[in-house]
Amino acid sequence: MDQDLLEVSVTKLHTLYRAHTYTVRQVTEWYLARIAKYNPAYKPILELDREGALKRADLEDAEAKSPAALAAKLKAQPLWGVPIVIKANTSIEDRVTSDGWTGFLQPGHELIAPRDAQIVAHFKSAGAIILGHTNMPDFAASDTNNSSAGGRTGNAYNVRYSPGGSSGGTATAVAANLAVLGQGTDTSNSIRNPASTDSLVGFLPTRGLVSIAGIAPLDWLMDDTGPLARNVTDAAIALEVMAGEDKLDDRTAGSAAKEPPQFTQYLKADALKGKRFGVPSFIINNQGTALSSTGATRSLALRPETQAAFLKAIEGLRAAGATIVEDDTILPASFETLLRAISTGPYRAEGFEDFLRDFGPTEYKSPAAFEQATGQKLPGFLLGQGRGNAPAASQRRLEDDPKAKETFWDPQAKALAAYNETLERLHLDGMVYPALQMPPNDEIAPQPDGKPSTGPHSNTGWVNRIGVPAVAVPGGFYDNGLPFGLEISGKAWQDGALLGYAYAYEQKTHHRKPPVLATE
């Protein structure tokens, strides 16, 4: 089976089913066996639902015994029989939503989801086999993937190195062929960062294309969710499944009219011909630092080896017919000033309050009820109580706040306008830049200061702040064999076109190659 299923795509897997080469149970058991073999070393899977996955596989096999029934299932359900993984901050009915934190795993007080997040319901309706939850850093608040609930996840290409975060569990699982594809979340880089370190396609949709309801928030006004896959076609298929309006997420209202979720039609080998992409000045020339959601400092300086990898990777865009525009006026340092004016701090508590209200267990439907039931407090940064040395922000609800326009909406619109003005002025179709400012870091080797290494850091959270789509694609490898990721941003509500650019680049370069795994 290895020769058929290693690096298998959704399309190829369906071809195997159509030919009756394997049953869904056989395929599911193959993935479960790989998880049993490799998860002890790499630790991407936090909670495995072996029983549920096999039960679903048997049901699908039973429903598709005849050729006609099988053909009908494959036509109606785009992920029929496809084993996938879900990030641990995303609600699966009757499973624990740990959010990577031991606090939600306390015996007798677990955060057991009363229902599916909409994206999980969509995956199930599309026929996917959910293998379980993937590991993630506590509350998704890290650039790497070390959690109190599941320990450290290793990079599929070298277990000593970081897989990136905070969707690093999903990334390592997909890169290591422990699932066909997976779901991640992204507040400032958390799909694209691990996609870059694991030679995957990671797609961040236009905010509002996909519902985030049912996902434990880090900063709900910046949060988003999307697929991680080994190829662009699988990512496009998954995004078609994930997209949709949800009454629990106001930002999705009218999304189907803005961009119908029909993305595979954009996947053409010549999609880059005649297109123009700018290189953001503030990313390439940045020498500063930034604070993470928890107040930790991270460097934004572009490492020389990463700049070299970037210059090499964009040659693939040129070879596919695109023009790369480098100009100091393309998103200069003043653009960062506009981004910093977008304030989400006064509204942070609202996100977690709403999450517990709608997707918390009966025992606790609010942060206060959680504290009363368990004797533990949620971290202050989740509730807007400041980060680092920053003062706590007075908490308000966005929809009720008379200052919301000046605090959030107007600054966001101003930054988005500056982005769009640059695209229009230089006739650009998007931006291109490194998905990370540095290579994946060795997390095992001792550092000169005696502390663990930090990273891998990026300067891509600006995309979340203005709500436009972005995609990370395999862009080659560093000299040490670890992957480099290229990122392309696009125009709001033109996600299909962006996937087309990624597909054309993939078809021209074919950078991805599977990792060689170790069992220790």
pLDDT tens-digit series, residues 191-228: 999 999 999 999 999 999 999 999 999 999 999 999 99
| CA atoms in the 13 A half-sphere facing the CB of 86 | 34
- How many CA atoms within 13 Å lie on the side-chain side of 211? 25
How far is residue 46's CA from residue 460's CA, in Å, rounded to a whole number?
A: 27
DSSP state of 247: T
The CATH number that applies at residue 160 is 3.90.1300.10
At residue 41, the pLDDT reads: 97
Tokens of residue 491, six digits: 């125009």
Told to judge if 166 belongs to the known catalytic residues of this protein, a careful annotator would answer: yes
Residue 225 within any structural domain of the chain: yes
> Does the pLDDT at position 316 exceed 70?
yes
The answer as to whether 519 is a domain residue is no
514 in any annotated domain: no
Helix axes 495-509, 232-242, angle to 10 degrees: 160
Question: What are 219's two structure tokens?
Answer: 């900063």
Calculate the average pLDDT of the chain. Answer: 96
Structural domain range at position 316: 1-509
Residue 303 lies in a domain: yes
508/486 Cα distance (integer angstroms)? 14
> Is 37 labeled as catalytic in the residue annotation?
no
Question: Does some domain include residue 48?
Answer: yes
Q: Tell me which residue has tokens 């030919």.
A: 19
Ordered DSSP codes for 70-89? HHHHHHH-TTTT-EEEEETT
What is the model's pLDDT at position 450? Answer: 81
In a domain, 281, yes or no: yes
Total domains in the chain come to 1
Q: 518 in a domain, yes or no?
A: no
Q: Give the residue-averaged pLDDT of 141-148.
A: 96
pLDDT in tens, 458-480: 999 999 999 999 999 999 999 99
The encoded tokens of residue 330 equal 């393309």
**Tokens coding 287:** 């020498």
Active-site residue 87, yes or no? Answer: yes
Alpha helices in 343-436 (DSSP H): 348-359, 367-374, 404, 410-425
Q: Residue 180, Cβ neighbours under 10 Å: how many?
A: 28
How many other C-beta atoms can be found within 10 angstroms of the C-beta atom of residue 327? Answer: 14
For residue 407, what pLDDT band results from cuts at 50, 70 and 90? very high
Task: Report CA-CA distances (Å) from 513 to 33, 79, 308, 481.
Answer: 22, 24, 20, 10
Is residue 298 predicted with pLDDT exceeding 80?
A: no
Residue matched to tokens 């953001």: 280
pLDDT at 456 exceeding the cut of 90 = yes
Exactly one of 91, 142, 147, 190 is catalytic; which is it? Answer: 190
Measured CA distances, 375 to 60, 122, 137, 293, 371 (Å): 43, 35, 22, 24, 5
CA distances 331 to 321, 351, 459, 464, Å, are 23, 30, 13, 15
For the cut 90, the answer to whether the pLDDT of residue 299 exceeds it is no
pLDDT in tens, 155-186: 999 999 999 999 999 999 999 999 999 999 99
Catalytic residue among 43, 73, 87, 124: 87
User: Does residue 501 lie within any of the structural domains?
Assistant: yes
Average pLDDT for 14-28: 98
Does 293 have pLDDT greater than 60?
A: no
> Can you tell me the distance from the alpha carbon of 145 to that of 136, in angstroms, rounded to the nearest whole number?
5
pLDDT digits (tens, 9 = 90+) for 331-390: 999 999 999 999 999 999 999 999 999 999 999 999 999 999 999 999 999 999 866 556
CA neighbours closer than 13 Å in the CB half-sphere of residue 471: 33
pTM: 0.97
Sequence-ordered alpha helix ranges (H) in 126-191 = 168-175
Identify the three-state secondary structure at position 360: coil
d(CA 377, CA 103): 9
